[in-house]
Chains A and B, each alone.
Chain A
Amino acid sequence: MPSEPLIRWPWVTAHLDEIGAALGQHLFLTVIAVAAGLAISAALALLAHRYRRAEAPITWLAGVVYTIPSLALFVLLIPVTGLSTLTSEIGLVGYTLLILIRNILAGLDGVPRDVLEAADAMGLTRRQRLFQVELPLALPIVMAGIRIATVTTIGLVTVTALIGQGGLGQLMLAGFINLFPTEIYVGALLSIALAVVVDAGLLLLQRALTPWARGGGGRR
């Protein structure tokens, strides 16, 4: 097929619904994975922050999960949870944990000692200190972790096409099977675009949430 163009636009316009649905599923799988990953990571990171002895086992476990090749993990899960959204989400969430836990801990550890001392000395309770001082100050690094986790997840979602999920990955897979470049390129370009747009959106969100962290270029 030497004359086959990279993208047949008539096919694209004829299949906008299908493409939109794939994009929607891709975003849905990503958001669920990052949200669930963040909830689990936050709980584990706070545990490790509060009880320092828990830090090593928690990061070790997250590290082990992270080292399993993604396809292998999905295949291992199929006998347990089948070819389901749950299977893909378990894998996707698993891969966010290491990044998120590490960044939450780094963010909390990065809070300056003098700020913590001042918080204690002014009579903030432990909980007030955590929610009013430590977590807000950890936010830039936590947000950086969320951005990495999200972009990584957007990439991994395409792999879940192999277990019947996959969003834009489905398009790419179908394209490979049918030797139809248009589907491959539409899927690939849209997943790249999705990653770039979501990353930029998160960056803007981070700036809005941490007005104190930028500027500051004034006197010191």
Chain B
Amino acid sequence: MARHVSEDPFRGLALPTSANRPAGAPHRAATVAFDHVTKRYGRRDDGPTAVDDLSFFVPAGATCVLVGPSGCGKTTSLKMVNRLIEPTQGRILIDGQDISTQDPTRLRRGIGYVIQQVGLFPHQTIAENVAVVPRLLGWSARRRRDRVEELLRLVGLEPGQHMNRYPADLSGGERQRVGVARALAADPPLLLMDEPFGAVDPIVRARLQDELLRLQRELGKTILFVTHDIDEAIKMGDLVAVMRQGGTLAQFATPAELLTQPASDFVARFVGADRALKRLTLRRVAELPLEPAPIVGLGESMGAVRARSGGRTPRWLLLVDRQRLPVGWVDGSTLPDAAAVDAAAAIRPSPLLGRETTLRDALSLLLDAAVRAGIVVDEAGRPVGLATIDAITALLHEQNDLTDGRDDPDAAPGPPDVTAGPTASGSRDDGDAPRGGRSPRAPRG
């Protein structure tokens, strides 16, 4: 119990957290530290161990995902943070404060909580549901109402349409949005989310995940997120705690580090054989070096195109319409100089990729369409260049590049930042700091 948890063992590390975000957006976020936390069930604490000597530190504003197979103690760990479950041994600190010394009711009102089944109160309207904690905290009716409207808009629900309905009138996805709004109601510095998107269909899940990422960029809360889905963990987490049966921590690392350097065979197996592909989830099309797209306008003559390109006209040209939206590819070599290019000559275009599309999705789309290059378009849908499979695989081969580009997808791709590389974890002052990776590293090719 005397062991000291350093306030911020990550000080100086380039972690993708709110601390690294541009100034001017003050966020209320808390740090969370697990300090040798153990939970055993049974009368004399000799029962089965749910969580075994768990230690890790989540910096303010980071999203930490607890992931592992069922029975690994991830939900138990989460519920110990708001004292729905009390640890057998060890301490949990929020902002450096031992939570066991705090009144559970007060503590919980300051922590947002989202669960898979949502747990909305069926007998209360959406507005009443969202305002539960503000009401407990004694906010005025006017302030509650304003906050409810603000939050519903934030999670993408029209207040006028939803405020006075009951949960039974909503779809699963809508209910989960209300659940997130309710958790955020009193602006807590910490959110706990237990498989929040586990009960909705895959399409809605992906959308809710994207929205949470967007929200999180705005709000910069500290989030502890439980899932059994490694893909979700990699997508949502700044940090990922991989747990295994018996409640031990198998690895605590950034998603990129997890994918390039699994700490054990267990982690490697859990992450899956497609680690290299999963790593592509962390990168966006915007990071690729794009090839210029050879463009020909509708009605333009091939002669004009050839003149414009100075004789080095590629065979395949991208036909765009008058709004400069892609129509399809035309084979320039078959067209005479004088002919005006029309849409009938075009074969269907390659997949269209946004700059925010993950490289994994991009690669999948390209393989699906059996083409070498996808057309990268801007927000208006106009082509800005071509993303090729070669460029994606080249990026894939940068095995040691651990920079996590998700937080700043617009940054120009540059040389890997060595300070954030794998050696950084060895530069910690406090050798005792609760960070994972206890098992010897077994990097696999």
Contacts and interface: CB of A to CB of B under 8 A. Distances in A.
A133 to B, nearest CB: 6
Contact of B113 (A122, A128, A137): A122
Interface stretch (B6-14, B149-157, B163-171): B163-171
A123 B115 contact: no
A212 interface: yes
A218 B169 contact: yes
Given A122-B113, A124-B136, A219-B169, A133 B108 contact: no
Contacts of B107: 123
Contacts of A122: 108-109, 113, 132-133, 136, 182
A82 interface: no
Interface stretch (B118-126, B272-280, B285-293, B316-324): B118-126
B315 interface: no
Interface string B270-312: 0000000000000000000000000000000000000000000
A136 B129 CA distance: 14
Contact of A117 (B84, B104, B109): B84
A67 interface: no
Nearest to A118: B119
B161 interface: no
Using C-beta atoms within 8 Å of the partner chain, give the interface range for chain B.
20 to 34
B123 A121 contact: no
Contacts, number: 84
Interface in A188-217: 210-213, 215-216
Interface string A127-146: 01000010011010000000
A180 B122 CA distance: 55
A17 interface: no
Given A216-B166, A216-B169, A220-B168, A123 B119 contact: no
B260 interface: no
B163 to A, nearest CB: 14
Contacts of A212: 122-124, 166, 168
B78 to A, nearest CB: 10
Interface residues of A, number: 27
- Interface SS of chain B: mixed
B120 A118 contact: yes
Contact of A115 (B106, B113, B121): B121
Interface string B86-119: 0000000000000000001111110101011111
A178 interface: no
Given A121-B84, A124-B136, A133 B169 contact: no
Given A212-B166, A216-B169, A220-B168, A121 B108 contact: yes
Interface in A89-142: 112, 114-125, 128, 133, 136-137, 139
A115 B119 contact: yes
B82 interface: yes
Contacts of B104: 123
B108 A210 contact: no
A122 to B, nearest CB: 5
Contacts of B113: 118, 121-122
A161 to B, nearest CB: 42
A139 B121 CA distance: 14
Given A121-B108, A123-B108, A137 B123 contact: yes
B108 A114 contact: no
Contacts of A112: 117, 119, 122
Contacts of B119: 112, 114-119, 121
Contact of B171 (A114, A133, A139, A220): A220
Contacts of A139: 123
A115 B123 CA distance: 11
Contacts of B166: 211-212, 215-216
Contact of B122 (A115, A120, A218): A115
8 contacts: A114-B115, A115-B119, A121-B108, A123-B136, A137-B121, A210-B123, A212-B124, A218-B168
The 7 A-B pairs at the shortest CB distance, nearest first, are namely A118-B119, A216-B168, A123-B109, A114-B117, A123-B108, A121-B113, A114-B119
Interface of B: 82, 84, 104-109, 111, 113, 115-124, 132-133, 136, 166, 168-172, 182, 192
